[in-house]
Amino acid sequence: MKILILGAGGVGGYFGAKLMRAGADVTFVLRDKRRQLIREKGLLIESPQESFTVFPHCLGSGELAPDYDLIMLAPKAYDLDDALASIAGAGGKGVLLPFLNGLNHFALLDQRFGRERVMGGVAHIAAMLTGTGSVKRLSDLHSLTAGPRHAAHEALAREFIALCAGADFDGHYAENIEQVLWDKWVFLATLAAATTLCQGTVGEIVATPWGADLTRKLYAECCSVAERCGFAVGEAARGKALAMLTQAGSAFTASMLRDMNAGQRTEHEHILGEMVRRGMAQGVVCDLVAMAHTHMAVASARLS
């Protein structure tokens, strides 16, 4: 299997490097500055357990050809159009495996490439690019889930997860990948809403008199949207999510908070705004999520 990965950030860089160490045929397509840095110094991965460097095959967008079986995409949602333009040379072949937050990207990808060429993927990792260009994993969580959205790529999804089994991270095949996507979106919207509104970590929030209860109410709002849309979050997923969202002493935050504090663009429209809009369409009141989105919209407007 020949894999093309767009970008070498917290998702693409981390999992791509791990797959390389497992013997996978991986190529990165990168912007000029990032490509030059990695060609000179390698791609450094830092994690709580270890640090290692790989020297991947890197190309610019103008050097691509339709030679890849799987094209992994992990840009920010607001960069998707630019991301697709950068892989145009490779776009005539292969299945796309997007690891974006929310669900809106599927409509665009299905329209442009056809549903039979767009697999479903979910990444669970807290990671960031450091000032020196390394990828730093911030917690023990590092898993990829993939599954077919069309019978045409069921075999490829299974082959990819089998490949992940040889790498040092958790890989899961999902028969119902759209449910997994909803499970993550509900969790992420809650985490982003709580940590951005309160400007603190999960541990700091639940240490306050009403923080844990408000977090549960946020999660319940998002769960209600998922249920009305036909993707009710199961008890096991709920229990796991709430345990992470209300863990005493946890340093966990959403990347949205880190991006906001760094003065960068955020995905508040795709994660929070779209959750509210889908809730409204289904008659679900999402006042707490709407408050978080309003907070982020104000903060974003100040940066523009």
- Listed residues 147, 175, 203: the one ending a domain: 175
**Spatial separation of the C-alpha atoms in residues 221 and 284, rounded to whole Å:** 8
- Residue whose C-alpha is closest to residue 90's, from 62, 56, 55, 112: 62
Return the H-helix or E-strand segment holding 136. strand 135-147
| pLDDT tens for each residue of 227-250 | 999 999 999 999 999 999 999 999
Which range of residues forms the domain containing residue 11? Answer: 2-175
Q: What is the value of pTM for the model shown?
A: 0.94
Residues 196, 253: Cα–Cα separation, whole Å:
8
CA-to-CA distance for 9 and 15, rounded, in angstroms? 9
pLDDT tens for each residue of 123-177: 999 898 999 999 999 888 899 999 999 999 999 999 999 999 999 999 999 999 9
- Residue that terminates a domain, selected from 141, 175, 209: 175
Give yes or no for a contact between 43 and 55, defined as CB atoms under 8 angstroms apart. Answer: yes
Q: Average the pLDDT over 250-259 and give the result.
A: 94
Counting residues of the chain whose pLDDT is more than 90, the rounded percentage is 93
Domain stop point among 149, 175, 201: 175
> Which CATH number do you get for residue 19?
3.40.50.720
The tens digit of pLDDT for each residue in 74-125 reads: 999 999 999 999 999 997 789 999 999 999 999 999 999 999 999 999 999 9
Indicate if 198 and 140 belong to the same structural domain: no
Residues 124, 129, 130, 133: is their CA dihedral positive or negative? positive
- Output the pLDDT for position 209: 98
Q: Are 133 and 220 in the same domain?
A: no
Q: At residue 68, what is the residue type?
A: Y
User: Which helix (H) or strand (E) covers residue 81, if one does?
Assistant: helix 80-86
Residues 218 and 290 in one domain: yes
Name the domain count of the chain: 2
- pLDDT (tens digit per residue) in 180-194: 999 999 999 999 999
